[in-house]
Amino acid sequence: MSDAPIRLGTRRSALATAQSQQVADALAAASGRPVELVLITSEGDVSRASLSELGGRGVFATRLREALLAGECDVLVHSLKDLPTAPAPGLVIAATPPREDPRDVVVTRTGVPLHELAPGSVVGTGSPRRIAQVRRRNPWVEVRDIRGNIDSRIGRVRLGELDAVILAAAGLARLGGSLHDLHLEPLGLAEWPTAPGQGVLAVEIREDASADLADAVAALDDRRARVEITAERAVLAGLDSGCQAPVGVHAEFDGHELRVRTVVYAPGGGDRIGDDRAIPLISGYAGEKGSGDGADAADRADPVARAERTGTVIARDLLDRGAAGLAT
């Protein structure tokens, strides 16, 4: 077994390095080797264009994955919600550590809830999903497409440039810092499902990584998080084939049952199509249209495989109900 440092590739932002350091500490404990951060600049970190103009998912991951494949680092840490659903050739997501709070949070100076903000109030977010959700929650506010790190977004609220921003609770928790002068309104997942994989980190390695490294990374994997994100990303992958509308999806797995809530939104926030179902992951495929006797025996015994199958079925049902038409 090598005792050389493990090189962990990460974006340069304060949030990325903070969450990568958490993984680095856990990986050092699991491997018995020191772990050092390798800071990598992605296109998403240097461009000021909106995420929709840059191409959305993958804009933060491409350069990191190139560095991993080139041997510039041994392992990567991503925010899972930033990753495309298609597998990256030569790479594997070897661990998804325990999930942080997956909710979105409204940050304001006054503590006025989002739905009570006065007409003309300015709410900042760069996410098409969040834009649609804000417009549904309070159609009288102005939504401003913004970029920047968490500190800069919060700073714009403190300065009065924005009345509110929508942020991920997980990012706030991982970054830390004092928000004593501001008010936080967590948004319930039942009515405000978030991005697939939100709150989960992805630890990625090369397929040909050494057995020692692969075993150490695998020790960080959390079964509950793996089942949940598999279902969420399967929904997104299925919708990507025929639907460009914003989507929120959140799965909860309690060890026996998987509940998946999905909403596809019209970009303007006016219309939506939703799905909310609970699937037992013990035996059979009760409630899953188009499955049952044809399901492989391996699927029946593997909650991750069942979660993927469930997500695929949900996406197909949403497309059958007209989800693709919401984008037009």
- CA 273, CA 251: separation in Å to the nearest integer? 17
Angstrom CA distances, 95 to 76, 186, 218, stand at 11, 27, 5
Are the C-beta atoms of 114 and 185 separated by less than 8 Å?
Answer: yes
The answer to whether residue 82 is catalytic is: yes
Q: Which of 57, 103, 130, 206 is catalytic?
A: 130
CA 80 to chain centre: 5
What is the rounded CA–CA span in Å between residue 158 and residue 186?
19
H-state helical runs in the chain:
14-31, 43-46, 51-54, 62-69, 128-137, 150-158, 169-175, 211-218, 223-240, 297-301, 303-320
Residue 14's closest CA among 163, 141, 132, 176?
A: 176
Residue 81 is a catalytic residue: yes
**Is 73 known to be catalytic?**
no
Catalytic one among 65, 129, 137, 306? 129
11, 65, 101, 243: which is the annotated catalytic residue? Answer: 243
| Catalytic one of 7, 147, 224, 277 | 147
Of 63, 81, 137, 233, the catalytic one is 81
Burial 35-70 (b: 16+ CB within 10 A, else e): bebbebebebeeeeeebeebeebbbbbebbbebbee
Residue in 103, 153, 174, 206 annotated catalytic: 153
In residues, how long is the chain?
Answer: 328
Catalytic positions: 81-82, 129-130, 147, 153, 243
